[in-house]
Amino acid sequence: MDILLNWFPPAFVKIPSPAMSVLKGYLNQFGYHADVCYWNLILRDMIHSLAEQGKDLEINEFESLMPFLAILLNASEDKEKLKRLYAYYQALHPQYFSIDKQKYYEESLNEYAEQILLSFNEKLIDMYSRKNYTLIGVCTKLLQLVPANIFAKISKTIAPNRPIVAGGISNKIEAVAMLHNFKEYDYAIWGEGEIPLHQLCRFLNNEISIEEIPNVAYRNDDGEILISKCNNRLFSNLNNTKPDFSDYFNCCKRYNIHDIKTMVPLESSRGCHWNKCKFCFLTEGYRNRAKENQSIIAEILDTIEKYGIYEFVFLDNDVIFNDFDKFEDLLDRLIQIKDKYEDFGIWNGEVVTKGLNADIIKRMTLAGFKSIQIGYEAVSDSLLRKICKKNTFSSNLMFVKWAKEYDLNLQGLNVITGLIGEEDSDIISSTRNLHYLRFFLKKEITKHDIIPLQIMKSSRYFKVLKERGDLNLWNDNLLYDLFPQNYIHDDNKYELMFFSSMISNPLWDNFRRVNDYYETTNFNYKLYYGGKETILYVELIDKKIVSKLEFDIKNEFHWKILKFCNKRVRSLDEIIQFLNISGNKEKQVLATNALADLNAEYILYSNAEYTENIAIINTDFIY
């Protein structure tokens, strides 16, 4: 049996499809032959031409989708929304207005839309003539929904009897909504795809009934949408799911794409061990489990040997997965690879900062980590508690500080606005806390991405907003606003799209202005020996001294506390024990006062209870 799996823009061209590569490898184990068609690679030159962007850069996701939106709007003859689409394109490229006025934007988008339709048609006719595919699979996740739908409609025109299955779906409500809105799909799979897709292939091969397929919605002969009654909760063994990236590299070769700096995806776990963050809906449909370290290392070495690729990205929500011993062992193994292959590097991964320290961060860089994401989300402990993050502001500060020291790039320092339960005091506290980050923030290097809260029906906040009668305020989605009328039924929009609110507390405008100041102002500090028993601290803004402090390292607690809290977050109890003052209430008061003094100078951060304390400055580097 032959299966065709498809991967669309705006997915990154430099990363082989994680999902489709795993599905291809999994199906191959059972004797099926799956091909992965990389439409994001096939259409790459066209989209780069539209964006007038160098091929070494990724294109803005919204701009990548513009010609696909033009296809939808031209088909529906929605002239008003087409005008809006042209206006957005003009906003991205205002310099072309002077060439031939407004006509440029209309003609360009429509020209590229026609090229995409032609490419889909020609290549599908060619592929379908060469292979009798039993099943066509598409991914509707990560904004691939629109290209996937256009592809599916063309596929049904060319081969109406070839079934199409939609994947990348979180839950059965979303799966039913997908079939309800888009008639081109015969099946919709939700959750992890390996076992449902394998069983669907068996059904199409007349080996089992459709009721034996888990996690699938389908149409019966009367067109009625049904859900399989199979309650089988089996999940694939991650150690046996070996991705097959061959179609990605074959596509690059076939289309003479040699200028991509490919990064191969790694999956060390699925799900989320924490799974309590109130704003998150990204891990629904996944079972928590981790892959063994030897399997991860084997995949890396196999990729290096087979394709000569040395750069990788971890896909996990938390590479550590709450198992520090396993992570330390993984770092040991990665360091061995780095020692053998100088070009080896890991360009993305995500960690939960709670429980980490400077030594682990240093070892991550030795293991080849170049960039990391830390699940940041807020710059105040109160907001982090309200959204039930495991990270704290202290643990995030520690990581940001030492990431800079070890030249580890930080991605996705998101600050989410409009969180449920957000109060003025939270935003004011967040704004004040920016001063603790003054040595680390830098525009285009380490910067905050200030974004509104997004919700779907699957998010924990959805029910709260609905019960409060506030759901109508969460209606902002640029892509949805450019869809033709009834492209997605109004009663299904929260199943298939995420939305944010246009209403924002004005205090966030203050936060943005203050944040911009810190990202564009050069803060620095230096530590000097002032004598055998003295350390001098000098703080500078744009090379001008703004503050001086002197620490008595023998007779006062201040410097001792800074040193003790330098590389990891410490509690007040740990500090008291370190200072050897457990039985001395008077000295404990002095230690607490010293913490307050250091906080007042913003060179150490303590939470309100003093259960978490971290030095902002690096006490190891003294001139």
Question: What 3-state DSSP class applies to 521?
Answer: coil
Mean pLDDT, residues 422-428 taken together = 98
Query: Which range (41-50, 148-157, 482-491) has the least confidence?
Result: 41-50
Q: What is the band of 105 on the pLDDT scale with cuts at 50, 70, 90?
A: confident
pTM, two decimals, is 0.94
pLDDT surpassing 90 at residue 379: yes
Cβ neighbors of 299 (< 8 A, separation 6 or more) are 242, 243, 266
**DSSP, residue by residue, 516-566:** HHHHHS-EEEEEEEEETTEEEEEEEETTEEEEEEEEETTT-SHHHHHHHTS
Contact (Cβ atoms closer than 8 angstroms) between residue 526 and residue 547: no
CATH code of 266-453+501-520, in short, is 3.80.30.20
Give dist(CA 404, CA 407) in Å, integer.
5
Share of the chain above pLDDT 70, in %: 98
- What is the model's pLDDT at position 55? 57
Q: Which of 273-287, 293-307, 435-449, 491-505 has the lowest mean pLDDT?
A: 273-287
pLDDT at 95: 79
A 10 A CB-CB count for 337 gives 18
Under the banding of pLDDT at 50, 70 and 90, the label for residue 281 is confident
The span from the CA of 73 to the CA of 85, in Å, is 9
Rounded CA separation 267/290 (Å)? 9
Q: What stretches of 424-490 show up as alpha helix (H) in DSSP?
A: 424-433, 460-468, 478-481
Count other Cβ atoms within 10 Å, centred on residue 502: 10
pLDDT mean across residues, the chain = 94
pLDDT digits 0-9 by tens, 172-226: 999 999 999 999 999 999 999 999 999 999 999 999 999 999 999 999 989 999 9
Summarised one tens digit per residue, pLDDT across range 150-160 is: 999 999 999 99
pLDDT of 392 strictly over 80? yes
Handedness of CA 145, 146, 149, 154 (dihedral sign): negative
Amino acid 57: pLDDT? 63
Quote the pLDDT of residue 67. Answer: 96
% pLDDT > 90, the chain: 87
Residue 543's CB is within 10 A of a number of other CB atoms, namely 7
Q: Which residue has the higher pLDDT, 396 or 98?
A: 396
Greater pLDDT, 94 or 482 = 482
> How confident is the model over 540-567, as a mean pLDDT?
97
The predicted pLDDT at position 98 comes to 65
Taking 90 as the threshold, does the pLDDT of residue 488 lie above it?
A: yes
* CA proximity to 593, closest of 551, 623, 558: 558
CA-based nearest residue to 571, from 602, 616, 619, 610: 610
For the record, the structure tokens of 97 come out as 């207005």
Tell me the mean pLDDT in the region 599-622.
98
- Tell me the average pLDDT across 553-564: 96
pLDDT at site 469 = 94
Structure tokens at 77: 């003859």
Q: What is the mean pLDDT of residues 292-298?
A: 98
Can you give the pLDDT at residue 280?
82
Q: What's residue 285's pLDDT?
A: 75
Q: What integer pLDDT is reported at residue 309 of this predicted model? A: 98
Q: What is the pLDDT of residue 102?
A: 59
- pLDDT at res. 99: 60
User: Phi then psi for 561, rounded to 5 degrees?
Assistant: -65, -45
The amino acid present at 215, given as its one-letter code, is N
Q: What number is the average pLDDT over the span 228-234?
A: 83
| Region 393-414 average pLDDT | 96
CA 121 to chain CA mean position, Å: 33
- Helical residues (DSSP H) of 406-533, grouped into ranges: 424-433, 460-468, 478-481, 493-496, 507-520
- Whether the predicted pLDDT of 362 surpasses 70: yes
Confidence of residue 30 (pLDDT cuts 50, 70, 90): very high
Residue 101 pLDDT level (bands cut at 50, 70, 90): low
